[in-house]
């Protein structure tokens, strides 16, 4: 007598298949697109579509477009009064659940500091002990709080906080 498949196993196989469909070999994370985003004249990243694999994964995880959650911006600078961000990869962490992703889930993305405000886009999420899955999210903070401090070095952006909000998007604009 054969056992019916377990729902958790089916979820893992589904998400692994999604992740395998969008892997690259030149990125620190297989789900983050390395260097393919065109920059605008002011140094901010240009438009970028959310991959269909990420849209499917977010639907499966019941994460709706426009939903948001509180995150720690940079796990290397957890809960410090001033965070210094550099262009390149970033690892953040959910402070609260987002859809079926629990608090503690890591978010992997990319930081751009060249514009008037810091831009952070997330391309994947990973719960502890699970595979990375594709997502599309951005950091948004109102009232200009993602603006670089005036005393920021030229190749970095200093911010006066270590937490922010991540918002799920269907495309990067």
Residue with tokens 């390395």: 34
Number of domains the chain contains: 1
Residue 4: pLDDT above 90?
no
The answer to the question of residue 97 being in a domain is yes
Residue 74 in tokens: 């940079």
The answer to the question of residue 2 being in a domain is no
The answer to the question of residue 1 being in a domain is no
Least confident piece of the model among 21-30, 68-77, 126-135, 143-152: 21-30
The answer to the question of residue 106 being in a domain is yes
Neighbour count for residue 144 (Cβ, 10 Å): 8
The answer to the question of residue 42 being in a domain is yes
Neighbour-count burial of 69, counting CB atoms closer than 10 A to its CB (0-12 exposed, 13-18 middle, 19+ buried): buried
The answer to the question of residue 115 being in a domain is yes
**What was the pLDDT predicted at 30?**
59
pTM: 0.80
Mean pLDDT of 1-26: 44
Average pLDDT, the chain: 83
């Amino acid at each position: 007598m054969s056992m019916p498949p377990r729902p958790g196993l089916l979820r893992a196989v589904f998400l692994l298949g999604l992740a395998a469909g969008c892997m690259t070999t030149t990125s620190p994370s297989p789900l983050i697109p390395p260097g393919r985003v065109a920059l605008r004249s002011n140094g901010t990243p240009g438009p970028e579509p959310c991959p269909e694999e990420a849209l499917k994964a977010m639907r499966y995880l019941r994460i709706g477009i426009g939903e948001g959650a509180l995150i720690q911006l940079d796990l290397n600078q957890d809960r410090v009064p001033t965070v210094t961000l550099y262009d390149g990869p970033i690892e953040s962490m959910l402070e609260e659940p987002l859809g079926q992703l629990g608090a503690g889930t890591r978010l992997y993305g990319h930081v751009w500091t060249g514009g008037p405000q810091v831009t952070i886009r997330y391309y994947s999420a990973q719960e502890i002990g699970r595979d990375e899955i594709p997502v599309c999210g951005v950091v948004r903070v109102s009232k200009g709080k993602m603006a670089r401090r005036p005393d920021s070095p030229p190749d970095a952006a200093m911010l006066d906080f270590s937490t922010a909000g991540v918002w799920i998007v269907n495309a990067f604009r």
